[in-house]
Amino acid sequence: MTTQPLPIIIDCDPGVDDSIGILLALGSPELEVRAVTTVNGNVPVATGTSNALRILELAGRSDIGVYRGCDRALLNKPLAGKFHGPNGLAGLQLPEPETNASTQHAVDRMAQELRRAGEQGTRLTICTLGPMTNLALLLRLHPELAAHVDRVVSMGGAFRIPGNRALTAEFNILADPHAAQVVYSAGLQTVLIPLDATHQAMTTPQRVAAMSGPGRVGQAVGQMLAHWDRNDVQRYGARGGPLHDPLVIAFLVAPALFETSPAHVFVEHGNSLCQGQTVADWYNQSGEPADAQIVTRIDADGIFALFAKRLQRLDPAT
Ligand code: BDR
Ligand code: CA
């Protein structure tokens, strides 16, 4: 019996690790990417949209539509991502895209894809690799479409370790904490891959070498990861940098490599020192449903071995 690939939408702000996440999804036959939607985050949404097109073309998959989304958070001012360089790809120069983004807005496309999934009797998995502005708007505009969402699987948050863009806040959540609170209070089934997990996924030199094959994709990934090293063994316990967003794809493809704990998630969205902090109700003290699975531990070696194999599939001739 053949299993149907899991239909997903990738909502992202490419971004080095977003771009590698997109490539891994394209190299994974278990997944069917129905759309790539973009949002303001690591880079302005126009830059992120152009990067998404370039990455799809690099992988020979410009048949997948790119839909430009919100150019700012619901309330907060833009917060540029560190470590991605001015072009969002750590200086990697890819050719100008030959294809254009659709004129349809990301939120409208998400709605259309969810309606179509509903008509087909299926549900979509929404992967968020950036701030959750688009998804929050979708839920406010079309609450009835939540029924066609299977799960929201996101890179975001920090629970038992410090934040990376503020003392207690991770970038994607801090960039739009109001949107994140809308999503986590919507009653959807969610999976969070927070810094607690991604800091276990360090791009050590050996892992980078394994992901940097001789083909076009392997070379591009190698160039981007060359700039990802935080060079801070004291903080991270290893050379390299935490490879955040690709873990979302790995979770969908190989969930056995991840340990999760159930909880309800709240987001501090007040204008406070802790704005953007994610707070887990591990012991059901709030009475809210434990509708989130929070990744606590990962098998990093298994995940990086998977990454190397999936990237090789995109460079078949090498
Ligand atoms: C997240 O922030 C961005 O810089 C990365 O792309 C990732 O999504 C990590 O905090
Ligand atoms: Ca991202």
Instruction: Give the start-to-end residue ranges of the domains of the chain.
Output: 6-312
Confidence band, pLDDT 50/70/90 cuts, at residue 81: confident
Element (H, E) at 31: strand 31-38
Task: Please give the average per-residue pLDDT across 235-253, as a whole number.
Answer: 95
- What distance in Å separates the CA atoms of residue 248 and residue 152, rounded to the nearest whole number? 10
Q: What is the mean pLDDT of the chain?
A: 96
Distance 191 CA to ligand 1 centre (A): 16
Q: Which atom of ligand 1 is nearest to the CA of 16?
A: 6
CA atoms of 20 and 10, how far apart (whole Å): 12
Q: Is the CB of 17 under 6 A from ligand 1?
A: yes
Which of 23, 47, 171 to mutate to test ligand 1, by most ligand atoms within 8 A of the CB atom? 171
Partners of 12 in beta bridges: 38
Q: Which of 129, 196, 225, 278 to mutate to test the pocket of ligand 1 (most atoms within 8 A of CB)?
A: 129
Q: Mind listing the pLDDT tens digit for each residue in 108-137?
A: 999 999 999 999 999 999 999 999 999 999
pTM over 0.85? The answer is yes
Distance (angstroms) between ligand 2 centre and the Cα of 277 equals 17
pLDDT digits (tens, 9 = 90+) for 21-53: 999 999 999 999 999 999 999 999 999 999 999
Q: What is the pLDDT of residue 83?
A: 84
Q: Is 166 in the pocket of ligand 1 (CB under 6 A)?
A: no
How many residues in the chain?
318
Report in angstroms the alpha-carbon separations of 77 from 80, 93, 220, 309: 10, 28, 31, 39
Nearest to 52 by CA among 91, 88, 8, 5: 88
Average pLDDT score over residue span 262-270: 98
Q: 283 near 183, Cβ under 8 Å?
A: no
- Would the pLDDT of 318 be above 90? no
User: What tokens appear for 162 in the block?
Assistant: 């410090």
Cβ-proximal residues to 11 (8 Å cutoff; 6+ apart), any chain: 37, 38, 39, 69, 106, 110, 126, 127, 128, 129, 130, 132, 134, 135
Ligand 1 contact, 15 CB (< 6 A): yes
Q: What distance in angstroms lies between residue 172's CA and the mean position of ligand 2's atoms?
A: 7
Q: Is residue 317 predicted with pLDDT exceeding 80?
A: no
Does domain 6-312 sit in CATH 3.20.20.60? no
For ligand 1, say whether the CB of 155 is within 6 Å of any of its atoms. Answer: yes
